[in-house]
Structures are given as structure tokens and as C-alpha cells.
Amino acid sequence: MKALLILGLLLLSVAVQGKKFERCELARTLKRLGLDGYRGVSLANWMCLARWESNYNTRATNYNRGDKSTDYGIFQINSRWWCNDGKTPRAVNACRIPCSALLKDDITQAVACAKRVVSDPQGIKAWVAWRNKCQNKDVRSYVKGCRV
């Protein structure tokens, strides 16, 4: 009985953690989903963004006390503007998706929403982590050795 309980707790913790992509696995996935060169943003820049926003983790979340919004998923897409979490005041939901869709191991919807975000006038500069960690930096190392 005790072993069954431990196994159940282990499985639950794996389910809550979500998928943490390996670097090259994510690079191949983003390329397959059409992000390489999308709106002029290189795959290496998308990889740098994902590294610093979520450390390649699909279940990453971050609550923002100032506007009571939350950032969701591998790209840390914000509930104030891009998705609906049912609790963010004055949410816009420009991607027309529930924020929970951004936490799935299948990142197809997260990529579609990221494409929507980068299509706005701010482009990739909408992401603070990209501005702070990737902008004007050599980001080739994020895809080095991945054969993409």
C-alpha cells in the first residue's frame, strides 16, 4: 500500500512539472512549427527567448503582482493581453485561447500565440527577457550542434 502511494505521488509530481524540453529537441520542434525566420526572428533568438523565459519548461508560470496578470508556458505569454485565465482583470485575450493551453506539453498553441505576439508592432521586443538576455547578443550557441 505504501509503495502504491509513493508511486501515485511520483506520477502526480511528473504531471504537474510538465515537459522540460532538451535544447535541441525544442529547436527541432520550433523549426517544424514554423518559427525559424518568422517575422524576421531567427530560430536562435526564439531559443534564447525560451531559455530565459521558462528554461524550456512548458509548465512555467509567473504571477505579476502589479497588474495581477500571469505569464504562462514556454514563452511566458501574459494573461493581460494574450490569453484568458479567468482571473486577470481587463484581459484582452488577443490569441483567443485559454491560458491553460499554453501549459501543454504539445506547444503548437503556444507557438501560434507567440506568432501572434511577434506580429504586433513591438515584435520580439514584447518579451523583457529577450531584450535583457538576447538582444544584440550572439545567440548562435542556442542552436549549436542541433542540426537545424
**Residue-level pLDDT at 137:** 98
The answer, yes or no, to whether residue 6 has pLDDT greater than 70, is no
Q: What is the pLDDT of residues 113-130, one digit of tens each?
A: 999 999 999 999 999 999
Out of 16-30, 38-52, 89-103, which region has the weakest mean confidence (pLDDT)? 16-30
- Classify 94 as helix, strand or coil: coil
Please name the residues in contact with 40: beta carbons below 8 A apart, sequence gap of 6 or more.
123
- The pLDDT confidence band at residue 30, using thresholds 50, 70 and 90, is very high
Give the containing element (helix H, strand E) for 64: strand 61-64
The confidence band for 17, taking pLDDT boundaries of 50, 70 and 90, is low
Lowest mean pLDDT: which of 4-13, 65-74, 78-87, 113-122? 4-13
Cβ pair 82, 72 in contact under 8 A = no
- Which residues carry out catalysis? 53, 71
CA torsion through residues 8, 10, 16, 20, sign: negative
pLDDT average, residue stretch 78-107: 97
Tell whether the model's pLDDT for residue 18 goes beyond 60.
yes
